[in-house]
Amino acid sequence: SIAYLNGEFLPLEQARISPLDRGFLFGDGIYEVIPSYGGKLVGFGPHIDRMKEGLSLIEIGLDWDHQQWRDLCEQLCAKNGNGNLGVYLHVSRGADTKRYHAYPEGVQPTVFGFTFDIAEPPVADKTKAKAYKVSTTEDMRWRRCHIKSTALLGNVMHFQQGYAAGNNETILYNADKLVTEASACNVFMVKNGTVFTAPLDNQLLPGITRLMLLDVLKKYTDIPVKEEFFSLADLMAADEVWLTSSSKEVAPVTHVDGKAIGNGQIGAVWEKAQTAFEAHRYDY
Ligand code: PLP
């Protein structure tokens, strides 16, 4: 079949996208699927409205109007025989030269389209309609933050929130105002000499640095450690706040939402913790 990629129509099997494309690395993109029967699109206007709204919400600057999208869809359908087709449209933030959560500057969005065969349009005939059987379950999308999934758009958007405000990370809390983690780090606080971090559950990634730090603190220091949830208010009133990640190890945080933590200086417990971590970073 014939696909469209960044200004060109070409055989689908020849279409190539960089592995650095943020659609691949972060799930950083927007898509639509529009049915087309005999060259006639169903719901084209609202499909494109929704895609433009999505692009705008995640700040991908692609300014195609409805006519440009219609031309693309109609050409894709025509080149693929104008049968019963699903027209798949996908815009990602494009391929950056590095892997960094914040939205890159000066990167061209990737625009991809192809068609696939779909069934005949459904008909109002009880003898022909397919009867469906379904399951039910609690909506868990995306309350599976313990899975290190490449679907990182939520993380990327949270990182960007902090980045746009001139900060290096964004600490996240849940509906009960309990601190879970940050957009790409785990979060620790020190209060009255005790180190706290959220216990592992579906609300946070089981960070390897978190695991190593907890073990190092327990084995090689006399600093008490508690895996317990603490609130945003506790965080703001903490003596120290730290972030952990593989690249940062234990990173001291001095300001949260512009407010100083403790005396606004890097803390003494942090120094002990990072020292212990350094001494044992190759043990695991
Ligand atoms: N939490 C999130 C959401 C992350 O993406 C990461 C690292 O990428 C972390 C925590 C820290 O994990 P680790 O210490 O394994 O790097």
Residue nearest to atom 8 of ligand 1 (CA): 184
Number of domains in the chain: 2
* Residue 241 belongs to a domain: yes
* Residue 205 belongs to a domain: yes
Q: Check: pTM over 0.90? Answer yes or no.
A: yes
Specify the amino acid at residue 267. Answer: G
CA distance linking residue 104 with residue 94, whole number of Å: 9
Instruction: Provide the pLDDT for residue 137.
Output: 94
- φ, ψ of residue 110 to 5 degrees: the values are -90, 130
CA of 76 to the centre of ligand 1 (A): 41
Q: What is the DSSP letter of 284?
A: -
Average pLDDT for 13-21: 98
Ligand 1: does its nearest atom lie under 6 Å from the Cβ of 205?
yes
Q: Which residues are CB-neighbours of 203 under 8 A, at least 6 positions away?
A: 143, 145, 146, 174, 180, 181
Range of 97's domain? 2-117
Q: For tokens 């190539």, what's the residue?
A: 16
* Residue 135 belongs to a domain: no
Instruction: Provide the pLDDT for residue 23.
Output: 98
* pLDDT tier, 273 (very low <50, low <70, confident <90, very high otherwise): very high
pLDDT tens for each residue of 36-67: 999 999 999 999 999 999 999 999 999 999 99
pLDDT tens for each residue of 66-97: 999 999 999 999 999 999 999 999 999 999 99
Ligand 1: does its nearest atom lie under 6 Å from the Cβ of 85?
no
CA distances to 182, 186, 189, 209, 251 from 275, rounded to whole Å, are 23, 18, 17, 14, 12
Q: What is the mean pLDDT of the chain?
A: 98
Instruction: Provide the pLDDT for residue 78.
Output: 98
The CATH number of the domain holding residue 264 is: 3.20.10.10
CA of 199 to the centre of ligand 1 (A): 14
pLDDT tens for each residue of 107-160: 999 999 999 999 999 999 999 999 999 999 999 999 999 999 999 999 999 999
* Residue 18 belongs to a domain: yes
For residue 171, list its beta bridge partners: 182
Residue nearest to atom 4 of ligand 1 (CA): 184
Judged on CB neighbours under 10 Å (0-12, 13-18, 19+), 84 is middle
Q: What is the DSSP letter of 64?
A: -
Average pLDDT for 174-198: 98
Specify the amino acid at residue 48. Answer: I
* Residue 185 belongs to a domain: yes
* Active centre residues (catalytic): 31, 148, 181, 205
CA of 17 to the centre of ligand 1 (A): 26
Instruction: Tell me what percent of the residues of the chain surpass a pLDDT of 70.
Output: 100
Ligand 1: does its nearest atom lie under 6 Å from the Cβ of 244?
yes
For the CA of 212, the closest atom of ligand 1 is 14
Q: Which residues are CB-neighbours of 128 under 8 A, at least 6 positions away?
A: none
Residue 178 contacts residue 198 (beta carbons within 8 Å): yes
Q: Are residues 263 and 176 in the same domain?
A: yes
Average pLDDT for 178-203: 98
* Residue 11 belongs to a domain: yes
CA of 86 to the centre of ligand 1 (A): 37
Instruction: Provide the pLDDT for residue 73.
Output: 98
* Residue 145 belongs to a domain: no
Choice from 100, 101, 205 to test ligand 1 binding pocket (greatest atom count within 8 A of CB): 205
**Is ipTM over 0.95?**
yes
For the CA of 208, the closest atom of ligand 1 is 15
Q: Are residues 10 and 76 in the same domain?
A: yes
> Concatenated DSSP letters for 21-59?
BHHHHH--EEEEEEEEETTEESSHHHHHHHHHHHHHHTT
Angle made by CA atoms 30, 61, 106, in degrees to the nearest 5:
115
> Concatenated DSSP letters for 200-213?
PSTTS---HHHHHH
Q: Are residues 177 and 103 in the same domain?
A: no
Q: Are residues 177 and 274 in the same domain?
A: yes
Q: What are 24's two structure tokens?
A: 């691949």
Choice from 101, 186, 248 to test ligand 1 binding pocket (greatest atom count within 8 A of CB): 186
* Residue 221 belongs to a domain: yes
For the CA of 186, the closest atom of ligand 1 is 10
* pLDDT tier, 202 (very low <50, low <70, confident <90, very high otherwise): very high
Domain-terminating residue out of 59, 94, 117: 117
Ligand 1: does its nearest atom lie under 6 Å from the Cβ of 170?
no
CA of 169 to the centre of ligand 1 (A): 12
